[in-house]
Amino acid sequence: MQKRRIVMHAGLAVAAAALPLAFVSLGGGCNGGCNALPSSSVDGGDLLGAFDRDAAAVDAANDAGRKATSRKEKDAGSVDAAAPVVTTPITRPPNESSCVTPEGQADRDIKRTFGRPVCPGAEVLEWKDEWGAPRYACVVVPRGIETRAPLPLLIFFHDAGKSPSSVDKETSLRKHASRFDITGDAAHTGFVVLAPQGRAIRGNRDGAMFDVEYVAEDNVDVTTTDHFVSVLTARGIVDRRRIYTVGAGNGGLMAATYAMMRADRVAAFATFGSDAPRAAWSCAGPPPPAFVLYRACDRITPCASVERWLRARDGTGAETTGVRLDSAGRDEPNCAIDKKCTPIVGTANHRRWPKTRESDMLRFFARRALAVPP
């Protein structure tokens, strides 16, 4: 039986020999190069892994230019414009259209609808869903998109109580969208951002959010996203091999749910401050690859809860990279002790998007694609 090797390099965990990637927690100081680190003991159980120092050179050529660039990222809004990526990504065949077990009941009581979101400098798509409710999504595209080859698509799902404008207000993804190289082709940089708007499925209490409790083909948040993706695909601006979902909190649950329900379209997904979605994988083989960012101190989605999900994914052979963060967005070796994670700090940590780790997330996406026509 071939032994799985997990290596630490430049802030990312890589599985050698194209084997499934087990969950690991990234150690600090990776901007200057990482040595292999032992697994850490954490609240909720130990995450054990075998680390091979000799395998650390697996992706050395791909990351050669990264160290100097990373040192320049001194503030949360910095953008890594020349991020080196793997020119030949790991491709996987698409799964069946939906790979989840249907469960839950649809919330058909429309308490309140939201108006057109404010998305400065972006296009706003409009549609009426199957229940007759107005739906919107903001679209950000690089300049000159009309004359360029199709680009990767990043679908961003906002957290509960937020809106599509979170892309501008809380992240640097819009800046990355104009310059970041996901494809490995310097003449083909940038990506398209699609940010759907949620619904008031719980009245006024939590504001706009996505229904992640009802897992079925007629979930209107899923079908609404399908519609908006189809609109962009029909324009010829989306590379269908490279569609990714991203979200925070409730939006992270939606990103994971949509990726599993549309495993024939989504190459990989990323979450922040989210634990296991209700959706249960039912297809043969592992679910889509995941990049999971979470805080050691989080009072909304506890660290231990996220790591139970990561262990469950690892048990299915799912390719997963988990990054445990401290309050400043640096790598943290352990989950925070409850008494040291105050409600004020833990809540603030949950709501603060980790801008400084966006480049890591995008590099993860760059290494994954679907084996479908572009």
For the chain, the helix, strand and coil percentages under 3-state DSSP, each to the nearest 5: 25, 20, 50
Q: What angle do CA 76, 77, 78 make, to 5 degrees?
A: 100
pLDDT in the model for residue 351: 95
CA distance 107 to 132: 14
In-domain check, residue 17: no
In a domain, 132, yes or no: yes
**Domain-located, residue 83:** yes
Residue 69 belongs to a domain: no
Cβ neighbors of 358 (< 8 A, separation 6 or more) are 171, 172, 173, 176
Q: Residue 8: inside a domain, yes or no?
A: no
Instruction: Tell me the CATH number at 238.
Output: 3.40.50.1820
**Predicted TM-score of the model (pTM):** 0.78
What's the pLDDT score for residue 109? Answer: 62
Q: What's the total number of domains in the chain?
A: 1
Q: Which amino acid is at 19?
A: L
Torsion over CA of 172, 273, 56 and 318, rounded to 10 degrees? -120
DSSP class of 91: E
Does the residue 318 lie in any domain?
yes
Residue 128 structural domain: 78-370
47 is a domain residue: no
Divide the 374 residues of the chain into consecutive groups of 10 and give the mean pLDDT of each group. 34 36 36 31 32 32 39 40 58 79 76 80 93 92 88 97 92 94 87 95 74 92 97 96 98 97 96 96 91 97 97 94 96 87 95 96 96 85
Q: Is residue 164 part of a domain?
A: yes
